């Protein structure tokens, strides 16, 4: 039912954990099952230099979180924003149709973390402007 890649990421997930001084944090809940995922990013010179995740969800959600962190690591913010729900599932060589909703969480949480990063950065910029 699951591809080898899904099983491999589920058994050996990459980038699990939390970044204490993250530059962006995104948490999303899955409306279908109520599972939760949080992604933390650390950004330097517009590049995602570190990314970690915490997922309270099923095996497919854990495998997709792990995959999305690998896909986003080292990418620019713009490139990372182009990672879609479908890309993540494709990279994992597909997911059973009943599990596709699980893969949505990973891309959504990544996008939420980037939005949070942009908001924080935008706020800083305005403060600087106000000081000038
Ligand atoms: Fe909830 Fe998969 S069953 S994320």
pTM of the complete model beyond 0.95: no
pLDDT value for 103 = 86
Is the pLDDT score of 129 beyond 90? no
Mean pLDDT across the stretch 63-70?
96
| Residue 102 a catalytic site member | yes
Average pLDDT over residues 78-86: 94
CA angle at residue 87 from 68 to 60, to 5 degrees? Answer: 55
130, pLDDT greater than 90? no
More confident residue, 130 or 51: 51
Q: What pLDDT was estimated at residue 112?
A: 97
Task: Determine whether the shortest distance from the Cβ of 98 to ligand 1 is under 6 A.
Answer: no
38 DSSP β-pair partners: 27, 54
Per the residue annotation, which of 33, 90, 119, 124 is the catalytic one? 33
Q: Of 18-22, 29-33, 101-105, 118-122, which one has max mean pLDDT?
A: 18-22
Question: Is residue 57 in contact with ligand 1, taking CB distance under 6 Å?
Answer: yes
For each of the domains in the chain, give its residue range(s) and CATH number, in order of start: 4-120 (3.90.1010.10)
């Amino acid at each position: 039912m699951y591809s080898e890649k899904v099983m491999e990421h589920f058994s050996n997930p990459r980038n699990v954990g939390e970044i204490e001084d993250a530059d962006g944090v995104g948490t999303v809940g899955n409306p279908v099952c109520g599972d939760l995922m949080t992604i933390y990013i650390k950004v330097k010179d517009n590049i995602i230099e570190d990314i970690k995740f915490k997922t309270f969800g099923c095996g497919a959600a854990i495998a997709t979180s792990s995959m999305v962190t690998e896909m986003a690591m080292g990418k620019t913010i713009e490139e990372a924003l182009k990672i879609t729900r479908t890309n993540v599932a494709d990279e994992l060589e597909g997911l059973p149709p009943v599990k596709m909703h699980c893969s949505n969480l990973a891309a959504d949480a990544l996008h939420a973390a980037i939005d949070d990063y942009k908001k924080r950065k935008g706020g800083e910029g305005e403060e600087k402007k106000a000081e000038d």
